Structure 1
Amino acid sequence: MTSPEFIYTYVRHGDEYDLCQLEMRSFFGFDSKSNVLLGDVEINPSRSPFMKERLEVLYDANSWESLVQQVGQLDVSGTTFKVVCMNTMDLDGTKKIEHANRRKIEREIGLQINGEPDLFHPETVYGFLVLDEHWYFGKYVESESVWYRHQNKPHSYSTALSTRVARAVANIAVPNPDGLKVIDPCCGIGNVLVEALSMGIDIIGRDINPLVIEPAKENIAYFGLSGDVEHGAIAEVSGTYDVAIIDMPYNIFSEATPEDQLDILRQARRIADRVIVVTIDTIDHMIEEVGFTISDRCEAKKGLFVRQVLVCE
């Protein structure tokens, strides 16, 4: 079998399954039905609200003994390291390894490496896991829950996208931000802006409601980020962008009529070739009417409340 370059593990709740799948497809071009994904695309696991960790594969083997032999070739003398086992939960059809056994195996494999072990402040962290009786070893990166810190912001409202959903939507819109210009023309208090800016996405915000402009700016600045937020309708946007992210207005302060929704989509078609639409209404016919094709989609659920996330090109 061909060894993957990277292995990612995932943690997602039942309501998040569909959204996680769409994020996977945006990053990798395919999805995984299980909580582990093998691929050749390098993604910082902290970008995703669903990724738990990433392994950059250095060695793989059909047996533990063969893996140990390969790891014995690793010389990191002059640096410190630690080794962690990634089988802390069931991974696809492979049962988790219990705590005591994980520690034992970590020690055994660590003894094979020529270097200085440091359990608390290592310069390099290595990881290993077993999947379907096949062993993998490599450089390990654990995800940081950046989105979780963003829940604590100066301004919020209950109908806004959660930070987890906002982060996933930003990833679906811009899986690779290099050289792309992005706009959120219905940005509200800026949940998508905060997530996108924290991942290095070149994005500006805009909203027709003057009451949300300063709160959005304050939310961005609160996390030490920098981004422009302008007041005005999407019809007033004169530039063009690679991607637009539109969370259709629907709350009591900014509810959009069907005519308003259609006009927003027309304007989005004018300023961007690719648009990610978040909507509580079924608006497929409107999207087709303005000249977009829905290339992918999912449902983002929270209990009985369902949003559709549409990838329009």
Structure 2
Amino acid sequence: MDEKHKKITTYIYTYAHYENELSLCALEMRSLFGSESQTGILESHLKIDPSRSPFIKERIDVIYEGDSFQNLLKQVASLQIAGETFKVVYVKNGFPKISVDEGFENRRAIEKEIGLHISGIADIHHPKRLFGVMNVNGRWVFGDYVKGESVWFRHQQKPHSYSTALNTRVARAVVNIAIPDPIGIKAIDPCCGIGTVLVEALSMGIDIVGSDRNPLILGGTRENIKHFGLSGEVKLADIRDITNQYDVAIIDLPYNLCSVITPDEQLEMLRSARQFANKVVVVTVEPIDEILLNAGFIIIDRAVVKKGSFSREVIVCK
């Protein structure tokens, strides 16, 4: 098939988030896919590893779709996977308006029916290939199934941590917002603290360096990175002294009692970032729109992350 007539694959993602993460999840969707969904299901022609996101549960790479289940079965019957064992997983829609019975018995019956139409050897315990079947937006879809891993969850168990640091789940989303496509991107976290953002970014294979002006924490930062089998450059440097150029900077503005900074210092820091980075994602616990504008930034998008009465803003700037 030539490039002109090559079929473009549709990818279907299912999402889950806590209520206080709705704004952050929507911003991550817009950053990764250029659009957002209100239904917990997002369709796109972009292929993203589900394990990148703390919110994506799974992905179906659509092979067949039909306006009825019987129509889908006919198409699945033409699939040849000789030499590979397989398993079929029913992916729940979760949207209230769905007309299909998604009870346990019906889901198992649908998985079995699909499996009987596939020319191959079923293996529910150790399959070489996973398939997903789903009823979405009024049609049935079938394709390769990829389940997301909670990589961020493993990163909670690091040797060193701060009570005021971003949690790993939020940090991972912030990295995706800042760097939706890592290819060819050079990034920096110039106020890296204990390295929460660095660990998430490095675990995704992103080219990122870290720096901080506090010499007392950098040993712990390096140990955290090494603990997860990762490697990355971490330097002692003030954000105002950075001269190398980067595509993206992620700045979690210091705010604890040991790092009180005045609005004038914030302005200095952000003016510096304006000089060394083309795009900046700022995490802040206080309003800084005016300071960002004074530093020469244009605010592109934003989200709010709440934890009880405490809230942070994630602001995307260029």
Q: TM-score range by the shorter chain?
A: over 0.9
Counterpart CA distance in 2 for 1:92 and 1:31 is 18
One-letter identity of the residue aligned with 1:121:
H
Q: Is the 8 A contact 2:188 2:248 kept in 1?
A: yes
Does residue 253 of structure 2 align to residue 248 of structure 1? yes
Which residue number in structure 2 is paired with residue 93 of structure 1? 97
Q: Does 1:223 align with 2:224?
A: no
Letter in 2 for 1:91: F
% identical aligned pairs: 52
> CA, structure 1 residues 196+135, in 2 after alignment: closer, same or farther (shift >3 Å)?
same
- When the two chains are superposed, the root-mean-square deviation of aligned CA atoms in Å is 1.4
Runs of 4+ with >4 A deviation: none
Counterpart residue type for residue 208 of structure 1: R
Q: For 1:147-162, list aligned pairs within 5 A.
A: 147-162=152-167
Are residues 1:117 and 2:122 paired? yes
Are 1:4 and 1:38, in contact at CA under 8 Å, matched by a contact in 2?
Answer: no
**Structure 1 counterpart of 2:198, from 181, 193, 196:** 193
> Of the candidates 44, 63, 70, which is equivalent to residue 68 of structure 2?
63
What does 1:113-192 align with in structure 2 at a 5 Å threshold?
A: 113-192=118-197
Q: Specify whether residues 177 and 3 from structure 1 end up closer, same or farther in structure 2 by C-alpha distance, changes over 3 A only.
A: closer
CA contact (8 A) 1:91 1:131 kept: no
For each residue in 1:222-256, what CA deviation from the matched residue of structure 2 results, as whole angstroms up to 9, or x when unmatched?
A: 00000111111012212000000000000112122
**Residue number in structure 2 paired with 1:273:** 278
- CA offset digits 1:239-292 (Å, max 9, x no partner): 000000000000112122111111110010010010000001111111111111
Find the aligned partners of 2:112 and 2:149 in 1 and give their Cα distance: 25
Which ranges in structure 1 are unaligned for 5 or more consecutive residues? Answer: none
Residue pair 2:302, 2:316 contacting (<8 A) in 1 also: yes
Number of the residue aligned with 2:3: none
Aligned position for 2:112: 107
SS in 1 for 2:28: helix
After superposition, the C-alpha distances for 1:41-88 in whole angstroms (9 at most, x for unaligned) are 10000000000000000111110000000000100011111100001x
Shift of 1:158: 1.2
TM-score normalised to structure 1 length: 0.97
SS where residue 78 of structure 1 aligns? strand
2:37 to 25, 32, 46: 32
Q: Contact conserved, 1:34 with 1:92, CA < 8 A, in 2?
A: no
Q: Is the 8 A contact 2:8 2:45 kept in 1?
A: no
Matched positions, count: 311
Contact 1:80/1:124 (<8 A) preserved:
yes
Quick one: which amino acid aligns to residue 97 of structure 2? G
SS of the residue 1:210 aligns to: coil
Write the distance in 1 (CA, Å) between the matches of 2:96 and 2:196. 33
Q: TM-score, normalised by structure 2?
A: 0.95
**What's the counterpart of residue 21 of structure 2?**
16
